[in-house]
Structure 1
Amino acid sequence: MNEQSVFALWPILAFLSIGGGIATMVFFAAIVTPTAFQSLGEEAAGPFVRALFPVYYLFFLILAGLATLFALLAQAEFAALLLALVTGGFAYGRFLLTPAINTARESEDRSVYKKLHRRAVIVNIVQIAGFVLAILLIAGQF
C-alpha cells in the first residue's frame, strides 16, 4: 500500500464512522426507545432504557473520538474540530447528564427530570447535526 492509498483511507474511515454514528443514533431514537416502551410498558422499559444509556454514550464517545482522529488524519481540520465537540457532548452525556437524569428520576422530581431529559434530546439533535455537517465538510474537501 503506497502513501497515497493510505491517505485516501482516512476520509473513508471518517465517512464510515460518522455515517454509522448518524444511523445508529437515529435507529436508537426512532426504533429502540419507542419499541421498548410500547412492548415492555413504562414500568419495565424505563429501567431498561436507563441501563442502555451509559453504554450508548460510551459507544458513541469511542466512535466519535475515532471519527475525530480519522478527520484529522484526512486533514479535515474544521470537521475534526466539530467532531471533537460532538465527542465532548457524548462525554457530557455519559459522565454528567445521565447520572443527573437517573438521580432526578429516582427522586421522582418530575420537573428536574423533564428539564434534563429535554436537554439530552437537544444535545442529541445537535450531535446529529454536527455529524451531518462534518460529513459534508469532509465530502466537500475531496
Structure 2
Amino acid sequence: MFAQLAESLPAILAFLSIGGGIATMIFFAAIVTPTAFQTLGEDQAGPFVRALFPLYYLFFLILAALATLFTLLAGAEIAAILLAVVTGGFAYGRFLLMPEIERAREAGEVERRRRLHRRSVLINTIQLAGFLVALLLLAGRV
C-alpha cells in the first residue's frame, strides 16, 4: 500500500499544484482586483494592487516550478515542458516586465505603460491556458 501511495504521490501533488494555480489565478483576476478597485477607488487600489504583484509573481513562480517538478515525476513529460514555459513566464513577469511597467508609470509614459500592461494580461491569460492544458495532459497520463 505504501508503495502505491509513493508511486501516485507525484501525480497527486501535480494535480494539487496545477489546480491551485488555476483557482488562485482566477480568484485574483475575478475577485481580488475588481473588489480592490470597487472598494478602495482608483487612487488607493492602484498602489494596493501594485504592492501585491511582486508577491503574486513570486508565489506563482514557486508554484509553477513545483508543478513542473511534480508533473515530471508523475511521468507527464509534455505537460512538464509546458509548465516549465509557464514558470519562465512568471520569472519574466516578476523580474523584467513588472519593473518595466513600474518605470513607465513613474515616467508618466501612459501609452507605454498601457502597452506593457496589455502584454502582462496576455501572458497571464496564456499561462492560465497553459495550466489548464497541463492539467488535461496530466489527467490523460494518469
TM tier, smaller? over 0.9
How far apart are 1:22 and its partner, in Å? 0.4
How far apart are 1:133 and its partner, in Å? 0.3
Encode CA deviations 1:42-84: one digit per residue, 9 max, x unaligned. Answer: 1111111111000000000000000000001101100000000
Instruction: Give me the TM-score of the superposition, normalised by structure 2.
Output: 0.97
How far apart are 1:105 and its partner, in Å? 1.0
Q: Report what 1:22 is aligned to.
A: 22
Q: Report what 2:69 is aligned to.
A: 69
- Amino acid of the structure 1 residue aligned with 2:43: E
Which whole-Å CA distance do the structure 2 matches of 1:47 and 1:56 have between them? 14
Q: Over aligned residue pairs, what C-alpha RMSD do you find? A: 0.9
How far apart are 1:113 and its partner, in Å? 0.5
How far apart are 1:106 and its partner, in Å? 1.2
Say whether residues 1:36 and 2:36 are aligned partners: yes
How far apart are 1:5 and its partner, in Å? 1.9
- Amino acid of the structure 1 residue aligned with 2:125: I
Which whole-Å CA distance do the structure 2 matches of 1:17 and 1:79 have between them? 13
Instruction: Specify the SS of the correspondent of 1:75.
Output: coil
Runs (4+) of structure 1 exceeding 4 A deviation are none
- Amino acid of the structure 1 residue aligned with 2:60: F
Which whole-Å CA distance do the structure 1 matches of 2:111 and 2:7 have between them? 50
Instruction: Give me the TM-score of the superposition, normalised by structure 1.
Output: 0.97
Greater shift, 111-120 or 5-14, is seen at 5-14
Which 5+ residue runs of structure 1 have no aligned equivalent? none
Q: Report what 1:85 is aligned to.
A: 85
Which whole-Å CA distance do the structure 2 matches of 1:7 and 1:90 have between them? 29
- Amino acid of the structure 2 residue aligned with 1:123: I
Instruction: Specify the SS of the correspondent of 1:108.
Output: coil
Encode CA deviations 1:92-112: one digit per residue, 9 max, x unaligned. Answer: 010001101111111111110
How far apart are 1:3 and its partner, in Å? 3.0
How far apart are 1:4 and its partner, in Å? 2.8
Q: Report what 2:54 is aligned to.
A: 54
Encode CA deviations 1:106-135: one digit per residue, 9 max, x unaligned. Answer: 111111011000000000000000000000
- Amino acid of the structure 1 residue aligned with 2:3: E
- Amino acid of the structure 2 residue aligned with 1:132: L
Q: Report what 2:106 is aligned to.
A: 106
Q: Report what 1:126 is aligned to.
A: 126
